[in-house]
Structure 1
Amino acid sequence: MRLDQATWERLRERARKLYEANGTSHRLDHVERVLRLAERLAREEGADPEVVRVAALLHDIGRGEEARTRGRICHAEYGAELARRILEEEGLPRDFIERVVRAIRRHRFRRGEPPETLEEKVLFDADKLDSLGAVGIGRAFLFAGEVGARLHNPEVDLEKTEPYSAEDTAWREFKLKLSKIKDRLLTRSGRRLAEERHRFMEEFFERLNREVRGEC
């Protein structure tokens, strides 16, 4: 199926209002980048473009509730059911809604069900790719600023540091989390993009470490 432009614009406006409650690293600009990546991966991998497009638009609408409950509510699970209600109100076909809902519910994969269909894998990869490369570095520093972390901490044992603390730096985010993403992606196109973005991040943090040491 293909959404008409009026329906798409209504969905986008409803999503925009929900994203206003999110932190700056997960607002509509993040969603728009994920949407562009998801559309690209869908073309390259042969996934249903409309399922991917709607799922990408709505994939993080539960973030505000997760933040409000300090993580007690999973944004993927909550957002999937919220998306279901929104899409039902728009009168979209039941099968289409279920495919979108499953993709949203499985895009996190930190717990619960892993992505299974091609559309679910495309959304998963697109979301993770936005954590890598130049954008990933920017988002990591943005998040560090949100939680009041210092600029850089290569001298500490990162395994002993706490999240949401002064030591929750972009360097910590890269070493403990982002450096592992490239090996978790599920599509051939996603893995190819992840390799290049990962190399850029390694080069950036190597340069940052040298600058902090006064070597360049």
Structure 2
Amino acid sequence: MTLTLWQQRFDAWLHQNYKQADAAHDVTHFRRVWQTARHLLDGQIADERVILAACYFHDIVSLPKNHPQRQQASRMAARKAHEILTTDFPDFPAACYDGVIHAIEAHSFSAGIPPQTLEAKIVQDADRLEALGAIGLARVFAVSGALGVALFDGNDPFAEGRELNDKAFALDHFRTKLLSLPQTMQTEKGRELAQHNADYLVHFMAKLAAELKGDFYAIDSTVLQRFCHPYQPE
């Protein structure tokens, strides 16, 4: 069976059976991760069936960021994905199961599981790229809004005199996690794309900083100098 047919079947199953956890983890997220994975795969030899299945089911169990079992979510998703493949897609190659399970387990930032295969590295990079750039900007505020997290600290938006706290302020999440993602990427192309899209977030921060100072036409050059290439978490 072709990859296109497998994708159509996975897509149809999700539309019928998947209840999304939040706006950042809907079916379109799975499609985008697969699209990005194919871009990262270009020129490399890997099992595309493993990557496709892992991209489509990596967040089949997705727990909120404030859930006490958050670190176990990828393992739970891997078990659920294996159950789905064996039950609802019995013609999916059994030889791919282990690869899919590992790629799903290793995709999560919070789980801290190192990817051991090229397929897992590509899936992890593709998923993390969703947290950067314009899509990442939209997702971080969508998720933060759903959790009741403020956009930023109105008194100290860039944490000049306080500890970073992304559980209270969405903007803090840029520095606690997002801007450091390029250093975690597993593939050369993934690192290149991640740094490019992380710099986009920094430019947003610089524009925000200028607006908060009352300058609606400029960007804050000190923010650019402080947080562009490469960013080290504080």
Question: TM-score under structure 2 normalisation?
Answer: 0.80
Q: Deviations over 1:85-120 (max 9, x none)?
A: 111121222211221111111111533531010000
Q: What displacement does 1:158 show? A: 5.8
SS, match of residue 38 in structure 1? helix
Partner of 1:70: 67
Q: What secondary structure, in the 3-state scheme, does the structure 2 residue paired with 1:115 have?
A: coil
The structural deviation recorded for 1:47 is: 2.6
Go from structure 1 to structure 2 and tell me whether the alpha carbon gap of 1:128 and 1:139 turns closer, same or farther (over 3 Å shift): same
Task: State the Cα distance separating 1:36 from its structure 2 match.
Answer: 0.8
Q: 1:176 to 1:100 in 2, by over 3 A?
A: same
1:172-196 CA distances to partner (integer Å, 9 max, x unpaired)? 1111110110110000110111111
Question: What is the aligned partner in structure 2 of residue 30 from structure 1?
Answer: 29
Higher relative contact order (CA 8 A, sep 6+): 1
Name the counterpart of 1:211: 211
What amino acid maps onto 2:48 in structure 1?
P
Segment drifting more, 146-155 vs 196-205: 146-155
Residue in 1 that maps onto 2:60: 61
Question: Aligned partners of 2:47 and 2:7: how far apart in 1?
Answer: 16
What SS does the aligned partner of 2:21 have? coil
* Alpha-carbon distance, 1:152 to partner: 2.7
Q: Does 1:111 align with 2:124?
A: no
Within the alignment, does 1:168 sit opposite 2:169 as a pair?
Answer: yes
C-alpha separation between the residues in 1 aligned to 2:199 and 2:169?
22
CA offset at residue 19 of structure 1? 4.0
Which AA in structure 1 matches 2:58?
H
Q: Secondary structure at the match of 1:101?
A: helix
Equivalent pair of 2:166/2:176 in contact (CA under 8 Å): no
Change (3 A) 1:4 1:134: closer
Q: Distance in 1 between matches of 2:166 and 2:173?
A: 11
2: CA distance, partners of 1:4 / 1:213: 51
Tell me, in whole angstroms, the C-alpha distance in 2 between the residues paired with 1:160 and 1:150. Answer: 13
Structure 2 unmatched ranges of 5 or more: 217-234
Q: Distance in 2 between matches of 1:191 and 1:49?
A: 21
- Among all aligned residue pairs of Structure 1 and Structure 2, give the percentage whose two residues are the same amino acid: 29
Equivalent residues in 2 for 1:89-100, closer than 5 Å: 89=87, 90-91=89-90, 92-100=92-100
Distance in 1 separating the partners of 2:213 and 2:30:
36
Q: 1:158 to 1:123 in 2, by over 3 A?
A: farther
Deviation track 1:145-166 (CA, whole Å, cap 9, x = no partner) reads 1122333321545635361xxx
Change (3 A) 1:150 1:116: same
Determine if the alignment matches structure 1 residue 152 to structure 2 residue 152. Answer: yes
Distance in 2 (alpha carbons) for counterparts of 1:104 and 1:77: 7
Inter-CA distance 49–158: structure 2 relative to 1 (3 Å threshold): farther
Tell me the matched-pair count: 209
Length-normalised TM-score, structure 1: 0.86
Query: What does residue 188 of structure 2 align with?
Result: 188
Quote the offset at 1:125 in angstroms: 0.2
Return 5+ residue gaps in structure 1 as ranges.
none
Residue by residue over 1:43-70, the C-alpha shift from the partner in whole angstroms, topping out at 9 and shown as x without a partner, is 243332221111101110011xx34x93
